[in-house]
Amino acid sequence: MQQASDNSMLGIYVSVPFCRAKCSFCNFASGVGTPEAMESYVERLCAEIDGAGANAVSLGAELPRRVDTVYFGGGTPSLLAPQQLRRIFAALRRNFDVADGAEITLEAAPGQIGDAILAESQRLGVSRVSLGVQSFIDRESASVGRLHTERECIQEIVRLRAEGLIEVGADLIAGLPYQTAESWEHSLEVATGVGLTHLSVYMLEIDEDSRLGQEVIAGGKRFHAHGVPAEEISAELYEQACARLPRAGFTQYEISNFAGAGHRSRHNVKYWQRTPYLGFGLDAHSMLRTTTGAVRLANPDELGQYAGAQSAREISRGGVTEAFEETIFLGLRMDEGVDFQGLAAAFPNELTKPCAEAVRDLVAEDLMTDEDGRWRLTLRGRLVSNEVFGRLLEGVAV
């Protein structure tokens, strides 16, 4: 069942870009930070939160005060000191009205959540922990620089549940060095049997932005690049997860996300349903409503620029066409897909007609389905989703 989007409630993302070690596959703006760097980062973050209202006014954007989801991502936010987390929460609460029962998520690395930060998080209202597990096979984890073992991951999940956290999720990656269908099956089996409520499954991204990606592209052997399975194998591993996880009670509700009943990430659903969200911190992105559409912003991805209070860059200020494009490619990421009738009611014919024609071809190619006007990606379509989105929006470009 699709959750109704509520534009009056804001989602907040807080980026904490510090990690204990940099994973070889990581293409995020994150790195190992000194305690001093973390301290001045928190100060800058709180100043940015305090300036959010004035910033929205200068952009001509609407800024809802009521917040129903907060997501601490990164990086490894569980490395914050309790007093730092307290200060960030204080800044959020003096500028926003965080609703009772808000979904508040803390990303963490297994084995890197001290007792003090866990206790403080729960006291401050954190209701959900998302663990960067990536694999339950020690050789695979070690090959990309993860610092945990399978045993430590399981112990961490059991500990979080015992501490009263109901929502505990994990990320897994298909396509890690040395991964096989059998080893992946083991990771999926452990993930579905250890008390997790949510799973995100990503395919390893091979690009210039990570050390492992660069080495794979160069055909080298550093970072275990020679152990990375071929792209077709990674795609098969993803398909294996799509088949296996629903059988274990984890419904796929988005291209990369699976959840037990009632355990979807409310925060992430906001991105796909185009409800407003505001990001603070390094490389954080925002989308706010304006009277004519929406404005999208991105913070600097260089720590020096962010620390120097360089303001967010405007990525787009969209009207009807941009809203249409986003409705298509964000909506199709979700299992509910896109309802043509709703689309036709909200957007003009010159946008919807070429799109509907493209859908006909994509259905014939088994990349999409069209059931009584509800469009969805097929499993094959999900694997080449960017190509499908491109074809759907080809005729829309103005």
| Cβ 196 vs Cβ 168: under 8 Å | yes
Category of 351 on φ-ψ map: left (φ > 0), alpha (ψ -120 to 50) or beta: alpha
10 or 19, CB closer to ligand SF4? 19
Task: Determine if 154 is a binding residue for ligand SF4 (CB under 6 A).
Answer: no
- If binding is defined by CB under 6 A, does position 244 make contact with ligand SF4? no
Q: Within 13 Å and on the Cβ side, how many CA atoms surround 23? A: 29
Query: What six digits make up the tokens of 89?
Result: 């929460």
Q: Applying CB under 6 A, does 132 fall inside the site for ligand SF4?
A: yes
CB of 200: closest distance to ligand SF4 in angstroms? 12
Binding test (CB under 6 A) with ligand SF4, winner from 75, 177, 229, 381: 75
Residue 382 CA: distances (Å) to CA of 307, 368, 389:
38, 9, 10
Q: How many residues bind ligand SF4 (CB under 6 A)?
A: 11
Three-state SS letters, 304-324: HHHHCCCCCEEEEEECHHHHH
Among positions 109, 174, 204, 393, the unique one binding ligand SF4 when judged by CB under 6 A: 109
Q: Which residue has the tokens 């298509």?
A: 328
Using CB under 6 A, which of the segments 19-27, 58-66, 98-106, 331-339 binds ligand SF4? Answer: 19-27
Cα separation, 327 vs 105, in Å, equals 26
Do residues 293 and 317 lie in contact, with contact meaning Cβ atoms separated by under 8 Å? yes
**Which position among 22, 93, 296, 380 is part of the footprint of ligand SF4 (CB under 6 A)?**
22
Residue nearest to ligand SF4 (CB): 26
**Using an 8 Å Cβ cutoff, are 152 and 111 in contact?**
yes
H or E, element range at 100: strand 97-108
131 is a contact residue toward ligand SF4 (CB under 6 A): no
Judged by CB, which is closer to ligand SF4: 88, or 367?
88
Q: How far is the CB of 139 from ligand SF4 (least distance, A)?
A: 17
Give the x/- contact pattern for ligand SF4 in 45-74, rule: CB under 6 A. Answer: -----------------------------x
Tokens at 301, concatenated: 């991805």
Q: Rule CB under 6 A: choose which of 28, 238, 347, 389 binds ligand SF4.
A: 28
Residues that bind ligand SF4 (CB under 6 A): 19, 22-23, 26, 28, 30, 74-76, 109, 132
